Amino acid sequence: MKELVKILASEFKDKDYAHTYLEEFSNMEIAAQIKALREQRGLTQKQLAELAGMKQERVSALEDVNYDSWTAKTLRKLARAFDVSVKFSFENVSSRILDIDKLSKSELERDTRTEDLKEFGSNGFSGITTLPIWGETVLTSNQNKVTPQYIPANDDWHSFTESETLSTKTN
C-alpha cells in the first residue's frame, strides 16, 4: 500500500475530515477533468463554451479547482460538448482514497463517443442490434421515438437472450 493511501485511511477515521477532504478532492477532480478533456480535444475555453452553450468566463470558472457549485445540468452540457457520458454515483470512501492516489491527466482523459464505440466494436461488440433497455418511451433530440420494453426481473441481467432484449425502433 502506498504511503498516501495509508495516511488517508488513518485520517479518514474522522468523519468530518474525510467528507471535507473528499468534497474538495471531487471539486478538484471535476475541474481538472474538464481542463484535461478540453485540452485533449484541442479546444480553447471559448470554443468549449460555444459547444456547451455558455460563456468563456463560465468555462474558466468551471476549470478552477476551488469551484464548488456544480450542477447536473452544467455537467450534462459539458458531457454533450465533449461527446461523452456523465455519471453520478455514490462511492465507498475506500475507493475514493484509491482514486486520489492514482489521479493523473491520463486517468481523466476520455475518448469521444465515436472513438469509444469504434473501440467497443473492435472488441467483438460490432453489429449488435439489440440492447437491454430500461424505461419508457423516449423522444430523442431529432424527434424520433424509442420505445424500450421492460427487462425481465432476474439477477443475471447481462445474459439475456435476443428475444428478451429490445431492438431500438424509430416511429
Which H or E element spans position 125? none
Q: What is the 3-state secondary structure (H, E, C) of 21-45?
A: HHHHHHHHHHHHHHHHHHHHCCCCH
Q: Which of 20-24, 108-112, 132-136, 163-167 has the least mean pLDDT? A: 163-167
Under 8 Å between Cβ of 114 and 83: yes
| 75 has pLDDT over 50 | yes
Taking the alpha carbons of 141, 158, 95, 37 in that order, is the dihedral positive or negative? negative
In the chain, where are the structural domains located? 3-119, 129-171
Cell representation of residue 88:
453520478
Q: Work out the pLDDT band at 169, boundaries 50, 70, 90.
A: very low
What is the pTM (predicted TM-score) of this model?
Answer: 0.72
Residues 101-114 pLDDT 10s: 888 999 999 999 99
Q: Which CATH architecture has domain 3-119?
A: Orthogonal Bundle (1.10)
Mean pLDDT of the chain: 82
